[in-house]
Structure 1
Amino acid sequence: MNIQILKELKPYSLFELQDLFNISEDEVRSILKSLSLMNIVKKLSKDTSKIELEELLDIDALNQLNAQMESNIYVFKYVGILMIGEICLILYPKYSDKYLHDKSNNFKMLKQIVSVIRKYQSKEQKIGLGEQFGLENFNLLSIALELINSYYEHGLYRNDEQIIEQNGYGETLWEKTINESTAYFSDGVPVYLDIYTVNQENNEQDFFRRLHAFVITEACNRLRDILEILDIGCINISSEKAESFGNKEYIIYRLNQELSTQFITHKQNVLKLMRRYIEEDVSENISETISFVGTNSFNLIWEDVCSVVMDDCINKSIKELGLSYAKNSKQSTLLSDVIAKPKWKHSASGKIHKSKKTLVPDIITINGNQISIYDAKYYKIKLDYNEVKKQPGIGDITKQYMYELAFIDFAKENNLSINENAFLMPTDEKEEIRLGTVSMEIFHNLGDINLHDIEVILKPCEEMYKSYLNK
């Protein structure tokens, strides 16, 4: 398998990708077209605006692209693993400056990132068959990982057999014993010398158990190189061939029948995964054999990581937190309800309508008598003596100030002090970096109200991910 290491939002020319993929130009174009439809790849040209390039590309100077922009440039808006035929692309997050060293480190960073992605997707129910891209794409890699995880948690699919025997060691079948055995009476009490018993025994030759073993074994063999990178041992528990189970239509018919009578959730999931695997149509077109485990929305994963690790309280009730809120004393009032909803007033009637939504911070934490306000930002900011680049926009800065203003009265009512207001951004460094602050003068001319400058804090991803996976 041709394994290549790439980086999210790093620009690659068509010729660079052709060299990496080691296939013809037409095949590369076909792959890139398929990935573009899945919103994984974006094509840039000399007509792309400078503003879009500055926001999108992982480069320090646009003039690095001047010569290349005469031809097409491609960026991958994706983090994780892409498998396209015999080509495996490993895509690291845009914040990482050390991604090229991960191979010599036994892919430690990649394994952790994939685990984080899979945990998030399982919480959001977006893992398994690849519906996140809106396409009926057969996703071998994701299906195989789901089957392996299920196997280690629940073992092979099983349908137990009931074995009824005379004088066995299982549960006594009294109705059958009374109806079919001779009763002997002792002091008026019936005694049965022969009783019927029932035992539940695992049916090793069950069709679906054998099929489960075959599918796991074959999928592992097809993905041996990738599983080795992820430190996942190949499962080899079947020597049967596909022909042993009949043709595709017969197998799918049997799986559908079993699904109609199976009500245990993890067994239903296994049956659906096996059905999707069997339904695969092997295509000779390499661009139609794309499978993946990863995301094109890593910003949402970073938000969830920060929320979980920082112990976000925004969706907890004020009562649960042991606090009070004079403006809304309902027991169900959440911390997010502290920020009032907009009110719309009809001039002629005076009727007021309250909006259903309002501003909601990413993260609010309460520790002791301190409250902190955070916004998780998936930015690769550059802030130093010379310049600031790739920073949050004016809208993000304004909202952070608004969050603090909204919580001032609530904090006073509960004798809390606002500790900090900050943007949380990722770094692959080992320690937290307090990079700097951002402020707006308009928010510091509010009389007696003293608002914090908004801090820029770079959180060490390895430690953040480790905490996230342990919670």
Structure 2
Amino acid sequence: MTEVKPSLFQELKRYSLNEIRDRLGCTPENVKAYINTLRKYGIVKIVKKDSLDFADLTNDDLVIADSAEEVSGASYKFDFVGIVAVKDKVVFCYPKYTTYSDKEKILEELKLAIKAIRKYDSKGELVHLHNRDDNGEYNKLALSLHILQDYFENGVYTNIQEIIETNGDGEIDWDRTINETFAYIKDNRPYYLELKTRSSQNDDFDYFKRLHECIVTQCSKYLKELTILDFFDMPEVLLSELDLKDFGDTDYILYRLEREIANQYITRKQNLLKTLYTFVATSGTSSQENSYSLYGTNCMNLVWEKACGQIFGNEYEALKKHIPKPLWELDGETDNKADTLIPDIVTRHTYSDGSELFYILDGKYYLPRITNNKISGNPGVQDVVKQFVYHKAFLDYIFSQYHCTVFNAFLFPMLSDLYETENIKLRGHVTMMDWGVETLVPLYLLFLRPSFVWNAYIKGKSCKDELNKVRSEVQFQDVFSGILDTSQTLQRKSKENVDNQLTMVGYLKQPYFDFIADALLKPESFLFYFYRTKDGFKYPIHPDLKHCQKFIGYTDDGRIIRGDISKNISVMDAEKLKVELGKVGFSGSAHSAEDYIVVEICNYKIDDSISVSELKESINAYKGNDATNAHSPKVIDVINYFF
């Protein structure tokens, strides 16, 4: 086999029959045979000519046919990332996010993607040594890579040869010495002039060592002919000039391998011998030149999800205990042992002041884009709903943290020729009618440079700092419009069907609560304040705060204070707030945010009759509290009970 020139195709891009023929450099008759082989193994799919590109394709767009000859005017897409050797052709399928026109840049992106696939496939979940068809044909490309990778990691197969010598340098074999040599007796003690010694060394002429060297050399030559050794950073290996026939016919080689497998007790060596057995058993078969082999995957979404989870420190295993399980009830019997929700990525970041940022992330191998003022290529509504449900599922945990802020986001691959100076870019968000925008923070759309993700994944590097930096530097708009007007003062306005009995519930740090509760220093009123903007992040607040006239505050140790809201809600920067608090004698709080929303509370008193658990029930019952966090107060409507 002479060196093959590979043909380049982009994942999920539509190609005509003539385009494929020209890229493969084959005749019109042969191109259909190639396509039929690739379709048989799910590499190529036939789609309607006028259907959309990339991820917009649905089952209705797929053309069902037994062969390419039956399809007229259809298009073909390669649902695969990796390398395919089909008959005498080699196909390189590069990822759908690669938009470079330069061939060298395309190959670099493919090389990096293959390295990521290779790491993901360390457990053999994607790339299989057999093609898994009815004939049991083996995947020569994957098998050759497997044999070479094992050789680079573990070296050549070795067997130990035991050497028995007379007066050698090895360990004395006393059994042989006593039984096979003469002893001289003096004073009833035996003396041996000749000692039998035992040593061991690698047998350089071992049959299986030489067979392994021969097969490794053949695998290296095969991959060089396919021009893919460089993709796996493997040097050419030339260990032997022998051919398989020099070791006997196929049946004899397989017989020797079977015997060696039976006598070998080291698991790694057993697995290698079995791989060599597969190589020998299928080498030289008549169907080999007409078959196909591959290395890659049509499940690139799994690799993307895994990589995103690793680089951002997925903590699902530690946090899954906080996700409630469904409670089933049937004929009086209940069961809550069923599986619960499994978010893709949940992770946390703790700030210096003890506050926590809670990430809910989902790696999505989609390419959203704007075409004719319409967004396409985006995930379906079920994916959006699922992310909001994940947020809802963690509400109890978020409430228990007091200082917890939620950041919910999709993670998309960035087109390779966009934003070349940025690794992570926020480009938008998703909300869902009342249920989304009224109660949950938006689902943000983050785009990640694939080369940034793959390199970090391959090297085992954490990228959480980069994620935090992007989140903190972006000036988010208020989730709820109209909360603050241009004068930055929240005026209390009338609202239909509101009886002015809504209550604001907020968290108070212990030193500030103690200051307020001290009878000697008790001022006539106090300022309740909460984050408006910190590290560039503008915190969402409940839209019904403007209708609240009562206030309940709570502390970490469960103490409660309640009173009336006497003035409008206003905005103060950290320095002004410090001055205002100093006027009443309080200076014990660090102000780490840029600015705060401030509310004046009067007619207040300590109330031990209310428990935090009661507050929690009321908070969970009131629509819209999902959107707030520990830095923003909640709203409840049960003040007749509390007041």
TM-score by length of 2: 0.63
Q: Within 5 Å, give how 1:270-419 maps onto structure 2.
A: 270-280=272-282, 282=284, 288-316=290-318, 335-346=319-330, 349-354=331-336, 356-368=338-350, 369-383=356-370, 386-419=373-406
Larger radius of gyration: 2
Q: Within 5 Å, give how 1:46-445 maps onto structure 2.
A: 55-56=56-57, 71-98=73-100, 100-101=101-102, 103-105=103-105, 107-127=107-127, 129-130=129-130, 136-183=136-183, 191-225=191-225, 226-230=227-231, 231-280=233-282, 282=284, 288-316=290-318, 335-346=319-330, 349-354=331-336, 356-368=338-350, 369-383=356-370, 386-427=373-414, 428=416, 429=418, 430=420, 431=422, 432-444=424-436
1:5 and 1:21 map into 2 onto residues whose CA distance is: 9
- State the Cα distance separating 1:314 from its structure 2 match: 0.4
What one-letter code is carried by the residue in structure 1 that aligns with 2:266? I
- State the Cα distance separating 1:140 from its structure 2 match: 1.6
Contact 1:95 1:426 in 2 (8 A): yes
- State the Cα distance separating 1:22 from its structure 2 match: 2.2
- State the Cα distance separating 1:187 from its structure 2 match: 7.1
Contact 1:44 1:74 in 2 (8 A): yes
Q: Deviations over 1:208-241 (max 9, x none)?
A: 1111111111222222142344242211111112
2:186 and 2:405 map into 1 onto residues whose CA distance is: 84
What one-letter code is carried by the residue in structure 1 that aligns with 2:20? L
Greater shift, 254-263 or 379-388, is seen at 379-388
Residues 43 and 459 of structure 1: CA distance in aligned 2, closer, same or farther (over 3 Å):
same
Residues 356 and 188 of structure 1: CA distance in aligned 2, closer, same or farther (over 3 Å):
farther
- State the Cα distance separating 1:183 from its structure 2 match: 4.3
Greater shift, 249-258 or 284-293, is seen at 284-293
Q: Classify the secondary structure of the residue corresponding to 1:95.
A: coil
Contact 2:54 2:96 in 1 (8 A): no
Residues 455 and 132 of structure 1: CA distance in aligned 2, closer, same or farther (over 3 Å):
farther
Residues 407 and 241 of structure 1: CA distance in aligned 2, closer, same or farther (over 3 Å):
same
Residue 12 of structure 2 is aligned to residue 25 of structure 1 = no
2:175 and 2:285 map into 1 onto residues whose CA distance is: 58
Q: State the partner residue of 2:440.
A: 451
What one-letter code is carried by the residue in structure 2 that aligns with 1:74? Y
Residues 189 and 197 of structure 1: CA distance in aligned 2, closer, same or farther (over 3 Å):
same
1:185 and 1:157 map into 2 onto residues whose CA distance is: 47
2:382 and 2:129 map into 1 onto residues whose CA distance is: 36
- State the Cα distance separating 1:21 from its structure 2 match: 1.8
1:310 and 1:190 map into 2 onto residues whose CA distance is: 72
TM-score by length of 1: 0.84
- State the Cα distance separating 1:385 from its structure 2 match: 9.4
What one-letter code is carried by the residue in structure 2 that aligns with 1:209? K
What one-letter code is carried by the residue in structure 2 that aligns with 1:351? E
1:97 and 1:130 map into 2 onto residues whose CA distance is: 32
Residues 39 and 262 of structure 1: CA distance in aligned 2, closer, same or farther (over 3 Å):
same
What one-letter code is carried by the residue in structure 2 that aligns with 1:379? Y
Q: Classify the secondary structure of the residue corresponding to 1:311.
A: coil
- State the Cα distance separating 1:43 from its structure 2 match: 1.0
1:278 and 1:175 map into 2 onto residues whose CA distance is: 42
2:436 and 2:332 map into 1 onto residues whose CA distance is: 35
Q: Deviations over 1:31-55 (max 9, x none)?
A: 2222212111111236x8x589871
Contact 2:126 2:296 in 1 (8 A): no
2:250 and 2:36 map into 1 onto residues whose CA distance is: 30
Q: Classify the secondary structure of the residue corresponding to 1:358.
A: coil
2:133 and 2:363 map into 1 onto residues whose CA distance is: 24
Q: Deviations over 1:105-151 (max 9, x none)?
A: 49322222111111111134544514577873322211111111111
1:144 and 1:211 map into 2 onto residues whose CA distance is: 15
Q: State the partner residue of 2:455.
A: 466
Residues 410 and 188 of structure 1: CA distance in aligned 2, closer, same or farther (over 3 Å):
farther
Greater shift, 31-40 or 452-461, is seen at 31-40
Contact 1:128 1:146 in 2 (8 A): no
- State the Cα distance separating 1:189 from its structure 2 match: 6.0
What one-letter code is carried by the residue in structure 1 that aligns with 2:272? V
What one-letter code is carried by the residue in structure 1 that aligns with 2:329? K
Give the alignment's Cα RMSD to 1 decimal. Answer: 2.7
Q: State the partner residue of 1:64.
A: none
- State the Cα distance separating 1:434 from its structure 2 match: 0.8
**Structure 2: where are the runs of 5+ without partners?**
59-70, 351-355, 461-643
What one-letter code is carried by the residue in structure 1 that aligns with 2:442? D
Q: 1:11 aligns with which of 14, 31, 56?
A: 14
Q: Classify the secondary structure of the residue corresponding to 1:307.
A: helix
- State the Cα distance separating 1:154 from its structure 2 match: 1.1
Residues 286 and 128 of structure 1: CA distance in aligned 2, closer, same or farther (over 3 Å):
closer
1:106 and 1:233 map into 2 onto residues whose CA distance is: 22
What one-letter code is carried by the residue in structure 1 that aligns with 2:373? N
Q: Classify the secondary structure of the residue corresponding to 1:291.
A: strand
2:190 and 2:402 map into 1 onto residues whose CA distance is: 77
Residues 451 and 135 of structure 1: CA distance in aligned 2, closer, same or farther (over 3 Å):
farther
Residues 303 and 54 of structure 1: CA distance in aligned 2, closer, same or farther (over 3 Å):
closer
2:218 and 2:425 map into 1 onto residues whose CA distance is: 46
1:289 and 1:165 map into 2 onto residues whose CA distance is: 53
2:169 and 2:84 map into 1 onto residues whose CA distance is: 53
Q: Classify the secondary structure of the residue corresponding to 2:317.
A: coil
Greater RCO (Cα-Cα under 8 Å, separation 6 or more): 1
Identity among equivalent pairs (%) = 31
1:95 and 1:77 map into 2 onto residues whose CA distance is: 13
Contact 1:38 1:135 in 2 (8 A): no
Greater shift, 174-183 or 394-403, is seen at 174-183
Residues matched between the structures, number: 433
